[in-house]
A and B are shown apart, each in its own frame.
Chain A
Amino acid sequence: MSAFILRRALQALAVLFAVGLISFAMFRFAGDPVNQMVGAETSPAERLEIRRSLGLDDPMAVQFARYLAGAARFDFGISYQFRQPVAQLLKERMPATLELALVATILALVFGILMGVYSALRRDSALAKLFQAISLIGVSLPTFLIGILLIYLFSVILGWLPSFGRGDTARLGWWTTGLLTVSGLKALIMPSVTLGLFQMTLIMRLVRAEMLEVLRTDYIKFARARGLRTRAIHFGHALKNTLVPVITIAGLQLGSVIAFAIITETVFQWPGMGLLFVQAVQNVDIPIMAAYLMLVGLIFVTINLAVDILYTIVDPRLRSSIHQPA
């Protein structure tokens, strides 16, 4: 068991190393950072001097080693545009992104499961058909379009919700939260719906399909034959067995919700890490871009590792195969 986890952890490290290498190498070609740091009329000699002091003239391998050594200590250097440590900028922006991703995931889970169960049980009802239509929209419309449509409806026409920003935030230690203020909650509604819509439709479709599958199995038939109440069959037996894959998917999707928050954050001017990343791309702020990619890589790898480990705990079949010599 511990050998398995160790092996997985080593694999995770290898993946992180690769992500670091790719992000590092890619951004060396994203434009001249010196050009972005200084104004129009800095002389070539001064530009060379800045290049040299930033270490941009060192061999690639040296630059990469220096970068990895720093990253291991969560030191991603200084942002070229803001002149602040990247780690600090990310730390300031992280609460906004995590809060948005978490609320979006909860919305997706709650509504996705409810709608999925309903449309599995009442397959032919009008409401189930409506849910199917909504899920089609969620799957096929791109996030930025949904965001802009929501803004148009709720901000421009109805004037109910703010079209951008995070509203007022409350401070809990270094964490800032918009969950405790009215304007913060109002500002959270549209971005979280936009971000969660795709996950919601995914979960809804998954729950519906799994539920239909499970309802056909023998043990459900036995339960019915024993005369158990329909409610107990549906929710006690069928739904419970449906949820295992749903939780797996939802867990894995949490990573992509955080990563894909970039688009939602741009549309709603949500002051999170994704917006920081987009601004960094515009300004060729390599330290921020590289750190962000590393961070997203870390989140994905961590979640995958956690899911792998959870699997072995949840599913006894996996555990027994691990004990066998390969």
Chain B
Amino acid sequence: MGSDRHKAAALAVALLAAFAIAAGPAESRTLRWARSIDTTSLDPHAANVGPNLLVVHQIYEPLIVRRFDGKMVPALAVSWALTRDPLVWEFKLRPGVTFHDGKPLTAEDVLFSLERARSTASDVKSLLSSVASVSKADDHTIRIRTVGPDPLLPNNLTDVLVMSKPWTEAHESVAIHNPASGRETHAAGHANGTGPYAVVSREPGKKTVMRLYEGYWGKGEHPLDIDEIVYLPIPDNATRITALVSGEVDFVQDVPVQDVQRLQENRALRVNVSPENRSIFLGMNVGAPDLKSSSLKGSNPFADRRVRAAIEMAIDRLQLQRNVMRGLSVPAGVIVPPFSNGYTSELDIWPPVDLAKARGLLREAGYPDGFDIALTCPNDRYVNDEGLCHGVAGMLGRIGVRTRPATQPAAQHFGQVRRAELDFYLLGWGVTTFDSEYIFSLLYHTNTGALGGWNGTGFSDRAVDDQIHTLRQEVDQARRNATIASLWRRLKEEVIYVPLHNQTIVYAMSREFDIPVDVSSQPKMKFVGARRM
């Protein structure tokens, strides 16, 4: 009897295996995707922040989309070009695109979405700040007129997502939720896009389920090998990693540095590491008459270029890479990452660590005994940000710059940076347009609110500002690049910021998937190809 039963069982197993093989290609693949933070809304125009864009990009689509390597490829627009009028861009829309509710995409929807994205309550409106008006040439062509010539308009459109006009109107979501109004619109919790994945269910902070949209236009053009996405925000690092190790999630997007090696050694997992399009650097307040956190009164050592050069010379980037970042960073000499236009290897150099020379520079500048200062860093925003703070403080102590590390949540940190309240701080900058202009305009331009909004250093230079304005209007690529190069030469000389490194991104996943690292850490799952065993 016993052996009979065994035979039956063996037969059943064999049959099941046969079925499994036969069913292989049609097998549905679910990606359980864990990240530290959830999107706050499904409304694509509600918040211009990474965690939101990540989720809405699976559901909605822009005219032009960026691939994993940052390259721009057609999405809802099949082609685009500047017309003979340098102020007008023309976009040809893709035919045969439908929304998840089955309605076809029209030029009206695109116009509506661009207007919605430009409205006061929109958070992506800064991406469209150069737009003067939007019009329809025919049912599948739209024209965008800019205020001045804007060579980067296509780059800025990659995060402006298109909604359905009839759907948005029918669900009373034309007004984007405004935090001040306190009202939640239908579009914050529901979605109807043209994207590869349609929302099945959503529980904020817990779980969002998306399924492959049957009518997606990109079938046959994109791999679309993932049939279902279950997006799970898990804030606690240990829990998120454990869920991956125990096989309860398939893909973890934020992997703590200390876990990378352990995960690499696990044969059931795959770890992909690649540099991110983001620089990490220190900012020094050069504009204040007096440093608040220093006992030195009546003078600001950072106003002296020699002091800033001494600081740069005292920081051992390779040691930070080795000891704080555990090898997971690319030391940098300039705050533009290699992916972005304007980067050159000649810029990406830094002075060798020379403590004697650094002390000499401090002496020359009139600080033979050094000075004391607080270095303020976020502790929940960048990879090992707190560790960097302590590492840098130790290194500066060696030249007599007695540095007190102070750390705080990014929520507080960013406000203080933007209000130029800090003397010495750590910041990271992702270049969303993949062009140096974005760095100049926001980090170097005199802080006027709209421009220089993240320049917490007090740096203000008329010549630099003028050059930035010229750059923003220039459509000739060669002349643009010449201006960018000249700006970088000048700014690198100033040492307003001390570049530390470009951050690397680590993705860990089950062996069954191979999701490449997206340079903006905004992976779009439609580009993910299968890896079957």
Q: Are B48 and A269 in contact (CB under 8 A)?
A: no
Q: A271-B205, A275-B205 are in contact. Are A151 and B239 (CB under 8 A)?
A: yes
Q: How far does the Cβ of A136 sit from chain B's closest Cβ, in whole Å? A: 24
Which of B124, B184, B204, B246 has the most A CB atoms < 10 Å from its CB?
B246
Q: What residues make up the interface of B, taking CB atoms closer than 8 Å to A?
A: 37-38, 40-41, 47-49, 120, 123-124, 126, 177-184, 188, 203-206, 232, 234-236, 238-239, 242-243, 245-248, 380, 409, 411-412, 414-415, 418, 442, 449-450, 453-454
In-complex Cβ contact of B242 among A54, A77, A156 (8 A)? A156
Q: A82-B204, A151-B239, A163-B248 are in contact. Are A284 and B453 (CB under 8 A)?
A: no
Q: Are B449 and A54 in contact (CB under 8 A)?
A: no
Q: List 21 A-B contacts (CB under 8 A).
A: A30-B412, A32-B411, A35-B415, A38-B179, A44-B449, A46-B120, A49-B180, A77-B182, A80-B179, A83-B183, A84-B204, A151-B239, A155-B246, A163-B248, A266-B236, A267-B239, A269-B232, A269-B234, A271-B203, A279-B205, A283-B411
In-complex Cβ contact of B238 among A30, A54, A78, A267 (8 A)? A267
Q: Are A156 and B245 in contact (CB under 8 A)?
A: yes
Q: Are B242 and A84 in contact (CB under 8 A)?
A: no
Given the complex, which residues of B lie within 8 Å of A181, measured CB to CB?
none
Q: Are B246 and A163 in contact (CB under 8 A)?
A: yes
Q: Are B48 and A164 in contact (CB under 8 A)?
A: no
In-complex Cβ contact of B454 among A39, A40, A275 (8 A)? A40
Q: How far does the Cβ of B451 sit from chain A's closest Cβ, in whole Å? A: 10
What would 20 more interface pairs be, CB under 8 Å, given A80-B179, A275-B235, A276-B205? A31-B415, A38-B47, A38-B179, A41-B453, A42-B123, A43-B450, A46-B120, A50-B179, A53-B180, A78-B179, A82-B204, A83-B184, A148-B238, A156-B245, A163-B242, A163-B243, A269-B234, A278-B235, A282-B409, A284-B411
Q: How far does the Cβ of A46 sit from chain B's closest Cβ, in whole Å? A: 8
Q: A35-B415, A164-B243 are in contact. Are A82 and B182 (CB under 8 A)?
A: no
CA distance in complex: A45, B206 (Å): 34
Which of B232, B409, B450 has the most A CB atoms < 10 Å from its CB?
B409
Given the complex, which residues of B lie within 8 Å of A279, measured CB to CB?
38, 205, 235
Given the complex, which residues of B lie within 8 Å of A283, measured CB to CB?
411
CA distance in complex: A16, B54 (Å): 41
Q: Are A82 and B40 in contact (CB under 8 A)?
A: yes
Q: How far does the Cβ of A74 sit from chain B's closest Cβ, in whole Å? A: 16
Q: Are A81 and B236 in contact (CB under 8 A)?
A: no
Q: Chain B interface secondary structure, helix, strand, loop or mixed?
A: loop
Q: How far does the Cβ of A207 sit from chain B's closest Cβ, in whole Å? A: 33
Q: Are B415 and A39 in contact (CB under 8 A)?
A: no
Q: How far does the Cβ of B383 sit from chain A's closest Cβ, in whole Å? A: 17
Is A162 located at the chain interface by the 8 A CB criterion?
yes
Q: How far does the Cβ of B49 sit from chain A's closest Cβ, in whole Å? A: 5
Q: List the count of A-B residue pairs having beta carbons below 8 Å apart.
A: 131
Q: Are B40 and A35 in contact (CB under 8 A)?
A: no
Closest to A32 in B: B415
A242-270 interface mask toward B, CB cutoff 8 Å, 1 = contact, 0 = none?
Answer: 00000000000000000000000011110
Is A159 located at the chain interface by the 8 A CB criterion?
yes
Q: Are A83 and B239 in contact (CB under 8 A)?
A: no
Q: How far does the Cβ of B443 sit from chain A's closest Cβ, in whole Å? A: 12
Which of B124, B177, B414 has the most A CB atoms < 10 Å from its CB?
B414
Q: A39-B49, A40-B48 are in contact. Are A159 and B246 (CB under 8 A)?
A: yes
Q: Are B236 and A82 in contact (CB under 8 A)?
A: no
Is A19 located at the chain interface by the 8 A CB criterion?
no
A12-46 interface mask toward B, CB cutoff 8 Å, 1 = contact, 0 = none?
Answer: 00000000000000000011100111111111111
Closest to A77 in B: B182
In-complex Cβ contact of B180 among A45, A50, A84 (8 A)? A50
Is A152 located at the chain interface by the 8 A CB criterion?
yes
Q: Are B239 and A164 in contact (CB under 8 A)?
A: yes
Given the complex, which residues of B lie within 8 Å of A284, measured CB to CB?
409, 411-412
Which of B37, B38, B179 has the most A CB atoms < 10 Å from its CB?
B179
Q: Are B179 and A31 in contact (CB under 8 A)?
A: no
Q: A155-B246, A164-B239 are in contact. Are A78 and B49 (CB under 8 A)?
A: no
Given the complex, which residues of B lie within 8 Å of A37, measured CB to CB?
179
Q: Are A164 and B248 in contact (CB under 8 A)?
A: yes
**Range class of the A interface residue count:** 35 or more
CA distance in complex: A54, B124 (Å): 21
Q: A43-B450, A82-B40, A278-B235 are in contact. Are A36 and B411 (CB under 8 A)?
A: yes
Q: Are B414 and A35 in contact (CB under 8 A)?
A: yes
Given the complex, which residues of A lie within 8 Å of B236, measured CB to CB?
266-267, 269
CA distance in complex: A53, B243 (Å): 42
In-complex Cβ contact of B248 among A36, A148, A155 (8 A)? A155
Given the complex, which residues of A lie within 8 Å of B180, measured CB to CB?
49-50, 53-54
Which of B48, B411, B412, B450 has the most A CB atoms < 10 Å from its CB?
B411
In-complex Cβ contact of B123 among A38, A53, A156, A163 (8 A)? A38
CA distance in complex: A284, B179 (Å): 14
Q: How far does the Cβ of B190 sit from chain A's closest Cβ, in whole Å? A: 13
Q: What residues make up the interface of A, taking CB atoms closer than 8 Å to B?
A: 30-32, 35-46, 49-50, 53-54, 77-78, 80-84, 89, 148, 151-152, 155-156, 159, 162-165, 266-269, 271, 275-276, 278-279, 282-284
CA distance in complex: A49, B179 (Å): 11
CA distance in complex: A159, B248 (Å): 10
CA distance in complex: A121, B206 (Å): 47
Q: How far does the Cβ of B410 sit from chain A's closest Cβ, in whole Å? A: 9
Given the complex, which residues of A lie within 8 Å of B409, measured CB to CB?
31, 282, 284
Q: How far does the Cβ of B385 sit from chain A's closest Cβ, in whole Å? A: 14
Q: Are A83 and B188 in contact (CB under 8 A)?
A: yes
CA distance in complex: A267, B232 (Å): 14
Given the complex, which residues of A lie within 8 Å of B38, measured CB to CB?
279
Which of A53, A82, A163 has the most B CB atoms < 10 Å from its CB?
A163
Closest to B52 in A: A39
Q: Are B179 and A83 in contact (CB under 8 A)?
A: yes
Closest to A158 in B: B246
Given the complex, which residues of A lie within 8 Å of B49, measured CB to CB?
39-40
Q: How far does the Cβ of B479 sit from chain A's closest Cβ, in whole Å? A: 26
Given the complex, which residues of B lie within 8 Å of A78, measured CB to CB?
179, 182-184
Q: How far does the Cβ of B519 sit from chain A's closest Cβ, in whole Å? A: 18
In-complex Cβ contact of A266 among B40, B235, B449 (8 A)? B235
Closest to A283 in B: B411
Closest to B180 in A: A53
Given the complex, which residues of B lie within 8 Å of A39, measured CB to CB?
47-49, 123-124, 126
Q: A35-B415, A148-B238, A276-B205 are in contact. Are A43 and B449 (CB under 8 A)?
A: yes
Q: How far does the Cβ of B245 sit from chain A's closest Cβ, in whole Å? A: 5
Given the complex, which residues of A lie within 8 Å of B126, measured CB to CB?
39, 41-42
Given the complex, which residues of A lie within 8 Å of B242, measured CB to CB?
148, 151-152, 155-156, 163-164
Q: A31-B409, A279-B235 are in contact. Are A81 and B40 (CB under 8 A)?
A: yes
Q: Are A159 and B247 in contact (CB under 8 A)?
A: yes
Q: How far does the Cβ of B260 sit from chain A's closest Cβ, in whole Å? A: 17
Given the complex, which residues of B lie within 8 Å of A83, measured CB to CB?
40-41, 177, 179, 182-184, 188
Given the complex, which residues of A lie within 8 Å of B184, measured CB to CB?
78, 83-84
Given the complex, which residues of A lie within 8 Å of B177, measured CB to CB?
83
Q: How far does the Cβ of A174 sit from chain B's closest Cβ, in whole Å? A: 14
Q: Are A54 and B179 in contact (CB under 8 A)?
A: yes
CA distance in complex: A45, B412 (Å): 19
Q: How far does the Cβ of B156 sit from chain A's closest Cβ, in whole Å? A: 11
Given the complex, which residues of A lie within 8 Å of B411, measured CB to CB?
30-32, 35-36, 282-284
